[in-house]
């Protein structure tokens, strides 16, 4: 199988209590691809500007990710986001957003990208997500992310896309906002009624839960004493989760392991700025952290 991801490729400027970066590779599609590439062939679809160099493209291509559908817009500038995190890293402020090449972006998927069995619609305008869906072949599994802005100003289009995907991956606050239900369990249940067969609620430092028609899985975050930069954690989780499913299939047992791999990958992502940690991450490290998550969440077994 292969996984196609459509979404932002960006330069980020980030400050956290542990330091700052003026200009580093980021974007939802970037973080997703770096994680999903541990499991399967990944194809990235998204626009960049003239300012996007070969070094950045090489990072994007880590572990064999196909960057043929990364569209370099002549005369354009790459999407730029600037944000600052508060002391406990749970709150962040967006200081600047330059859409740049994203203003005119119209997704164009190559035949190879259309042929993927698995698709991740990263957080972009729901109308663009719809355009991608219409180009796709018969993907077996489509997952979607979104954000508060689209729930606010493009709710109908978003509900339209949600009705056509397999899996919705949102954070707690977004699920509450989307459904109007204050309780995350009932909010996730409501989203299942919109059409998807699985809903993942991302809960940041608290982990994530997954709900399907007849299953519920809850997983804590991997315990870290120091979080350096949370940027991209959600997309890294999605990359691990969706990538694992692409590789191993969509049975209940694989859903649980997929949650664990998403969680483990996200925990590495936040240990350093931007893509720094996941770019040089190894499969052995990921597997070890998944094993540790299994130990941490084991309720019955005594510990060695």
Contact residues: a second copy, CB under 8 A? 17, 87-89, 176, 182-186, 189, 203, 205-207, 209, 214-221, 223-227, 251-253, 256-257, 259-260, 293-294, 296-303
Q: How far is the CB of 265 from a second copy (least distance, A)?
A: 15
Nearer to a second copy, 80 or 241 (CB): 241
Rg value, the chain, Cα: 18
Nearer to a second copy, 26 or 262 (CB): 262
Nearer to a second copy, 44 or 290 (CB): 290
Q: How far is the CB of 227 from a second copy (least distance, A)?
A: 7
Nearer to a second copy, 85 or 120 (CB): 85
Q: How far is the CB of 49 from a second copy (least distance, A)?
A: 36
Burial class from Cβ neighbours inside 10 Å (0-12, 13-18, 19+) for residue 73 reads middle
Nearer to a second copy, 89 or 266 (CB): 89
Q: How far apart are CA 185 and CA 76, in angstroms?
A: 43
Q: What tokens does 266 get?
A: 């996200």
Q: How far is the CB of 150 from a second copy (least distance, A)?
A: 22
Collapsed DSSP state (helix, strand, coil) of residue 65: coil
Collapsed DSSP state (helix, strand, coil) of residue 66: strand
Nearer to a second copy, 80 or 261 (CB): 261
Q: Which residue stretches of the chain are H helix? A: 28-36, 54-60, 111-114, 126-135, 148-153, 155-162, 172-179, 184-193, 233-248, 252-269, 276-279, 283-296
The residue behind tokens 């489509």 is 142
Q: How far apart are CA 70 and CA 152, in angstroms?
A: 29
Q: How far apart are CA 226 and CA 36, in angstroms?
A: 24
Nearer to a second copy, 152 or 251 (CB): 251
Q: How far apart are CA 118 and CA 208, in angstroms?
A: 21
CB neighbour burial string for 256-285, b if at least 16 within 10 angstroms, e if fewer: ebbbbbbbbbbbbbbebbbbbbbeebeeee
Q: How far is the CB of 260 from a second copy (least distance, A)?
A: 5
Q: How far is the CB of 291 from a second copy (least distance, A)?
A: 10
CB atoms within 10 A of CB 68: 12
Contacts of 55 (CB under 8 A, 6+ apart): none
Q: What tokens does 133 get?
A: 């869906």
Q: How far is the CB of 256 from a second copy (least distance, A)?
A: 5
Nearer to a second copy, 35 or 221 (CB): 221
Q: How far is the CB of 201 from a second copy (least distance, A)?
A: 10
């Amino acid at each position: 199988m292969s996984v196609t991801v459509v979404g932002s490729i960006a330069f980020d400027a980030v400050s956290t209590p542990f330091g700052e970066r003026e200009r580093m590779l980021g974007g939802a599609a970037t973080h997703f691809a770096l994680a999903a590439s541990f499991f399967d062939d990944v194809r990235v679809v998204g626009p960049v500007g003239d300012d996007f160099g070969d070094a950045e493209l090489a990072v994007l291509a880590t572990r064999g990710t196909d960057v043929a559908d990364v569209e370099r817009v002549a005369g354009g500038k790459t999407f730029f986001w600037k944000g600052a995190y508060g002391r406990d890293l749970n709150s962040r402020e967006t200081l600047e957003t330059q859409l740049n090449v994203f203003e005119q972006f119209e997704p164009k998927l190559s035949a190879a990208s259309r042929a993927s069995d698995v698709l991740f619609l990263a957080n972009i305008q729901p109308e663009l997500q719809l355009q991608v869906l219409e180009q796709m072949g018969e993907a077996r599994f489509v997952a979607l992310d979104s954000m508060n802005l689209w729930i606010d100003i493009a709710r109908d289009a978003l509900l339209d896309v949600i009705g056509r995907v397999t899996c919705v991956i949102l954070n707690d606050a977004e699920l509450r906002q989307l459904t109007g239900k204050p309780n995350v369990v009932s909010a996730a249940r409501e989203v299942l009624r919109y059409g998807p067969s699985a809903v993942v609620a991302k809960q940041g430092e608290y982990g994530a839960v997954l709900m399907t028609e007849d299953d519920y899985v809850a997983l804590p975050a991997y315990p870290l004493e120091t979080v350096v930069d949370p940027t991209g954690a959600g997309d890294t989780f999605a990359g691990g989760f969706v990538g694992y499913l692409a590789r191993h299939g969509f049975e209940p047992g694989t859903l649980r392991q997929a949650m664990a791999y998403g969680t483990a990958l996200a925990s590495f992502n936040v240990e350093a700025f931007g893509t720094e940690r996941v770019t040089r991450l190894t499969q052995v490290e990921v597997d070890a952290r998944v094993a540790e998550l299994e130990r941490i969440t084991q309720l019955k077994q005594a510990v060695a």
